[in-house]
Amino acid sequence: MADYHYVYKDIEGTSTQWDDIQRKLGNLPEKPPAFKPPPFTPAEDEDSKPKDKSWIDSKTQDELEDLEDDLDDDRFLEDYRKKRLAEMKEVVKVAKFGSIIPISGSDFIREVSQAAPEIWVVVILYKDGFADCEMLMGCLDELARRYPATKFVKIISTDCIPNYPDCNLPTLLVYNSGAVKANYVGLRSFGKPCTPEGVALVLCHSDPVLNDGQSGSDSSRRSVLDGESKRLIEKLVAERENADDDGASSD
């Protein structure tokens, strides 16, 4: 006849009275502690973080655009999101260039003639080793950083116009919508001494060549003219004061 053995297992961590007596006598090891699961800690997700200005400032442009529905119940944050998004788009729209771009003859049509209608392009025809070219290039380099929405390019004169006379260097060409709007031959066009402010005033005399990011071509041109005039006056006053100080110290 088969011998059947049944093993009854109690809830984990419990023991019988007999087991307890045997443990007191040292015949059984100490009872293991009952299993306790670790406390539940929900994972922190993006939605659980407090939403404030700093939270919005940490978002990219694409993320801000996706947040519209999430902030409908908070008018302040939704308004701030829209303001922040507008600022980011304005920066992207204005900050396009910021330096003088070297081009070759084969690049001219694409980079200059076919530039978008809203972009003004300033082209300097130059050659290495000409002091006047280096001086004007320095002025344009500063203006390119100051007005990143205006496109500045440089090209060796004979790469642009075969047999172009060196006596005409440097030459500036101003393009907009594929057409030449102005040209300036030689450094004398910008006065003595040649300064970034003086070049800016000449370029913007009749057209909004230098873009400061303001809407409306006339307001932008007027803002640039006022700003550059102020810079030029401040520079002339500082030079005069330095000259007076040097004269006084030599007496």
Tens digit of pLDDT for each residue in 35-74? 677 776 655 545 555 566 676 667 776 676 666 656 555 6
Distance CA 211, CA 189 (A): 21
Single-letter code of the amino acid located at 83: K
From residue 221, how far is each of 149, 183, 216 by CA, in Å? 13, 18, 9
Q: What is the DSSP letter of 19?
A: H
Please give the C-alpha separations between residue 200 and each of 14, 25, 72, 124, 144, in angstroms, as whole numbers. Answer: 90, 101, 46, 14, 11
Range with the largest mean pLDDT of 23-27, 87-91, 93-97, 105-109: 105-109
Number of helices and strands (H, E) in the chain?
9, 5
Return mean pLDDT, the chain.
78
Per-residue pLDDT band at 77 (split at 50, 70, 90):
low
In this prediction, residue 215 has a pLDDT band, given cuts at 50, 70 and 90, of very low
Task: Encode pLDDT of 159-204 as tens digits.
Answer: 999 999 999 999 999 999 999 999 999 999 998 889 999 999 999 9
**What's the confidence (pLDDT) of residue 216?**
46
Give the up-direction half-sphere exposure of residue 191: CA atoms within 13 A in the CB hemisphere.
Answer: 11
**Rounded distance, CA 201 to CA 211, Å?**
13
**225 and 201 in contact (C-beta within 8 Å)?**
yes
Among 159, 166, 158, 185, CA closest to 174: 185
Evaluate whether 125 touches 170 at the Cβ level (below 8 Å): yes
pTM > 0.75: no
Task: State in words which class domain 100-236 has.
Answer: alpha beta
Q: Which of 80-89, 110-119, 184-193, 233-242 has the lowest mean pLDDT?
A: 80-89
The 8-class DSSP code of residue 65 comes to H
Contact 126, 187 (CB under 8 A): no
User: Which of 237 and 113 is assigned the larger pLDDT?
Assistant: 113
Left (φ > 0), alpha (ψ -120 to 50) or beta: where does 106 sit? alpha
| Cα dihedral 130, 150, 123, 208 sign | negative
In this prediction, residue 100 carries a pLDDT of: 97
Which is more confidently placed, 234 or 178?
Answer: 178
